Structure 1
Amino acid sequence: MAPITTSRVEFDEIPTVVGIFSAFGLVFTVSLFAWICCQRRSAKSNKTPPYKFVHVLKGVDIYPENLSSKKKFGGDDKSEAKRKAALPNLPLHLDLEKRDLNGNFPKANPKAGSSSDLEAATPKLFTTETEKEAVSPESLKSSTSLTSEEKQEKLGTLFLSLEYNFEKKAFVVNIKEAQGLPAMDEQSMTSDPYIKMTILPEKKHKVKTRVLRKTLDPVFDETFTFYGLPYPHIQELSLHFTVLSFDRFSRDDVIGEVLIPLSGIELSDGKMLMTREIIKRNAKKSSGRGELLVSLCYQSTTNTLTVVVLKARHLPKSDVSGLSDPYVKVNLYHAKKRISKKKTHVKKCTPNAVFNELFVFDIPCESLEEISVEFLVLDSERGSRNEVIGRLVLGATAEGSGGGHWKEICDFPRRQIAKWHMLCDG
């Protein structure tokens, strides 16, 4: 019987064909990957995302960004030369690795951060004619319309500068210093001040300076550069500054606030220096805290307490920056000691929030005599401590509607009882 030679030839050609196809596939895959990488790199280099910012602390980039230029933008060379000529040459050595948790640098030279030297060296620095012409009457009213009580209680002065770089579409805010702040610590008669800044009305960026320890005249000299802001859009914005004093063991103390509407302020002529008096924060804030709808049910058989946070309405603005981002924190107390805590999700930008969230707490005792429930409505703020909007307590010793609601829960177990309650100050 003759051997079959044709089939052997076909089988010998199969590995060659497979190798050729594999080589072509590998070349195509590598070429496609290289093309995708080139496209992404070019897209990143040409695209300028909105509200990208660089934080500069005395010439050192705290949050460096990948900019197109070789030098970080913190001010032009001419403006930098003028600033150096106006201010005294203060020896300052910054080592970012030696900063503490609050971003403070060790005091190598006690005279470097003293605001008295700067005050003596720059007495005419913040009184310019361009400021008077550029500031609108509305912004002057917001800063000068103080009541008689606020005039008697001076909260200090904030010094800052504004600038717009048309080449890079960058809005530059330099927080220079604050003078004459009140002492928030009664024992040491000093404060640990820092400043939070928010761009209104969008509230997309909340930035803050470092904390300066034990001073009433802090010198910050920190620059915040926001990229991707067209110049016509600047006129629609406002700057809100909140001056606070850091407290390690409790909520930070609010010293005051400053609101600067940018409508009517011309930044085309270059850097603008301005001063603003710090006013008391949100004088209308105490008029109302809003209301909270909660439902509770006590199960005596399982010894559990079911708490449902339903709704909140008429919540006030946490500050002049606009609507709050509320959420509710529920604390369970036994004999004035917190034994459990829960919290709801955050509802964005609304004074009338709908939560509808249920929590079940185990009661360590057989009755509700020493049990109380605390509801804290807070405003969620990214990068800082959340502010308490209002507070509600339900318990046997609670006053007002909280005590009556608690009595009904104890008298009618296994029944879900819901009521609206007025929130009080936190």
Structure 2
Amino acid sequence: MAPISATREEFDEIPTVVGIFSAFGLVFTVSLFAWICCQRKSSKSNKTPPYKFVHVLKGVDIYPENLNSKKKFGADDKCEAKSKPVMPKNSLHLDLEKRDLNGNFPKTTPKIQSSPDVENLTPKHFAEREKNSISPESIKSNTSLSSEEKQDKLGTLFFSLEYNFEKKAFVVNIKEARGLPAMDEQSMTSDPYIKMTILPEKKHKVKTRVLRKTLDPAFDETFTFYGIPYSQVQDLILHFMILSFDRFSRDDIIGEVLMPLEGVELSEGRMLMNREIIKRNVRKSSGRGELLISLCYQSTTNTLTVVVLKARHLPKADVSGLSDPYVKVNLYHAKKRISKKKTHVKKCTPNAVFNELFVFDIPCEGLEDISIEFLVLDSDRGSRNEIIGRLTLGASAEGTSGEHWKEICEYPRRQIAKWHMLCDG
């Protein structure tokens, strides 16, 4: 019977051993899991953000975050080592280590940089080919400007003009811009790009790519315009619009450059030029023009018929001297807009003929709480449409507008047309 009691004691010790091994295994598993999580977290922090991409043509990072351990597109270690000392001054790379505790970049004054094309030109070439050249004295004067003067400065645009007689094409190369203002107050940078239009016909419209987080963008993009005879180049005007890209709202307009080509001789070859960027100035005259409107109130169906007939003597709302007008019609009930319509765009004319009819359903009996607003706008694809003039008709309107409204109320089912003066937008 003694051996049987010994085997029972051995079986009693087995749960204790199993419990000890299970505890050690649990501690080991938890430690291993925590170590793996830490490794994954550190590896994710070193990876490039998912929205970073590389410009295929230039090999330049457009979103230059976390570049210390990353390679450029299509470059190996040897090429990268060779390209480091030759790296241009106007690089788009930002050092994240220079951020403050809030994650913002410190405010820095824009440095004066130069493109490789400008550096390779000889002083003799500048004297003969460029009217507004940059001298060392002008650079010193720019660096000694006060902070108030720098705020008024919108930067300088550098570009070159050339005419290809073999292909009968006009060539514009947008090189770079220097000293742009910061449109993003948090990072104190901008995301600039340029839209260019050839005036006065506005048939040729191009734009550059967006360069991220820089005040001295180097575009170096060439645009070739075919079908422009050399005899007509003198009559053209180049309009450069400098903008800053905004992901969440309308792009910010930094400024514009107008370059008349009258007196510019391109027969000798390429000309390098630079112009100061100025604030966008929509040229408007004192008069807003007139609008011919026809109204008819149908009391039986409780509808208001509006016919936008003509506009005349519209001011010059564009740098080309002509407008591309259209009319936007808004219907209000108790100062709340309940419906809106708009006409087609009429190209390059101060005297537009629309002849477009709109029918509005009136939500109440009578026109006491109803008013209608006419906005004459200038269509512009490059930026926000500018308001040329405004007209409001309603019971509270004065002058011809009030008289017109009273007539359609007193004589329903009668179409009544009148000219109205437009007021400032």
Name the TM-score, length of structure 2 as normaliser: 0.62
The residue that corresponds to 1:88 in the other structure is none
TM-aligned CA deviation for residue 359 of structure 1: 1.0
Greater radius of gyration (CA): 2
Contact 2:62 2:212 in 1 (8 A): no
| Distance in 1 separating the partners of 2:333 and 2:184 | 32
For residue 351 of structure 1, report the CA deviation from its aligned partner.
Answer: 0.5
Q: Is the 8 A contact 1:330 1:373 kept in 2?
A: yes
CA separation of 1:230/1:122 partners in 2, compared to 1, >3 Å: closer, same or farther? same
Q: Could you say which residue in structure 2 is the equivalent of 1:94?
A: 55
Provide the residue aligned with 1:113 in structure 2.
Answer: 92
1:107 corresponds to which letter in structure 2? Answer: P
Change in Cα spacing, 1:154 to 1:420, as seen in structure 2 (3 Å) is farther
- 1:259 corresponding residue in structure 2: 258
Q: Give the SS at the match of 2:371.
A: strand
1:31 corresponds in structure 2 to none
Aligned to 2:7: none
**Among the aligned pairs, what percent are the same residue?**
77
1:317 aligned residue: 316
Question: Equivalent residue for 1:178?
Answer: 177
Q: Structure 1 residues 212, 267: closer, same or farther in 2, change over 3 A?
A: same
Moved more, 227-236 or 198-207: 227-236
Question: How far did residue 291 of structure 1 move?
Answer: 1.7
Q: How does 1:411-422 map to 2 (within 5 A)?
A: 411-422=410-421
Output the CA distance in 1 between the equivalents of 2:164 and 2:221: 17
Partner of 1:129: 127
What is the alpha-carbon distance in structure 1 between the residues aligned to residue 394 and residue 189 of structure 2?
39
**8 Å contact kept, 2:132–2:274:** no
Closer, same or farther: CA 177–283 of 1 in aligned 2, 3 Å: same
Which residue in 1 is equivalent to 2:392? 393
| TM-fit CA distance, 1:223 | 1.9
1:374 aligns with 2:331: no
* Structure 1 residues 269 and 376: alpha-carbon distance in aligned structure 2, compared to 1, 3 A threshold: same
Question: What is the rounded CA distance, in whole Å, between the counterparts of 1:266 and 1:306 in structure 2?
Answer: 57
Q: Secondary structure at the match of 2:280?
A: coil
Q: Name which structure has the greater RCO, CA cutoff 8 Å, separation 6+.
A: 1
**CA offsets 1:137-179 (integer angstroms, 9 cap, x no match):** xxxxxxxxxxxxx999433322211122333222211222333
Deviation sequence 1:44-84 (CA, Å, 0-9, x none):
xxxxxxxxxxxxxxxxxxxxxxxxxxxxxxxxxxxxxxxxx
Structure 2, unaligned runs of 5 or more: 1-52, 69-89, 94-108, 134-148
Q: How many Å separate the matches in 1 of 2:330 and 2:247?
A: 22
- Residue correspondences, number: 316
Tell me the CA shift for residue 402 of structure 1. Answer: 4.2
Q: How do residues 224-243 of structure 1 correspond to structure 2 at under 5 angstroms? A: 224-243=223-242
The answer to whether the 8 A contact 1:198-1:321 is kept is: no
Match of residue 157 from structure 2: 158
Secondary structure class of the residue paired with 2:113 = helix
What is the alpha-carbon distance in structure 1 between the residues aligned to residue 328 and residue 401 of structure 2?
Answer: 17
Task: Indicate conservation of the 8 Å contact 2:110/2:215, yes or no.
Answer: no
> In the aligned structure 1, how far is the partner of 2:221 from the partner of 2:258?
18
Change (3 A) 1:183 1:296: farther
Q: Secondary structure at the match of 2:344?
A: coil
User: CA 1:121–1:277 in 2, change beyond 3 Å: closer, same or farther?
Assistant: closer
Helix, strand or coil for the counterpart of 1:129?
Answer: helix
CA distance in structure 1 between the aligned counterparts of 2:191 and 2:401, rounded to whole angstroms: 37
Are 1:200 and 2:199 counterparts? yes
Structure-1 residue corresponding to 2:339: 340
2:64 alignment partner AA: K
For 1:293 and 1:249, the matched residues in 2 are separated by 38
Deviations 1:360-410 (A, max 9, x none): 111122233443322222233457654433232333455665455444444
Amino acid at match of 1:175: I
Question: Helix, strand or coil: the match of 1:285?
Answer: coil
Amino acid at match of 1:388: I
Question: Could you tell me the TM-score, scaled by structure 1's length?
Answer: 0.62
Tell me the alpha carbon deviations over residues 11-38 of structure 1, each in whole angstroms, 9 at most, x when there is no partner: xxxxxxxxxxxxxxxxxxxxxxxxxxxx
CA distance in 2, matches of 1:396, 1:250: 36
Residue ranges of structure 1 left out of the alignment (5+ in a row): 1-91, 136-149
Deviations 1:157-207 (A, max 9, x none): 222111223332222112223333445567776655432222123221122
SS of 1:342's equivalent in the other structure is strand
* Deviation digits for residues 190-244 of structure 1 (CA, Å, limit 9, x no counterpart): 6554322221232211222334456544433322111233333323322122334
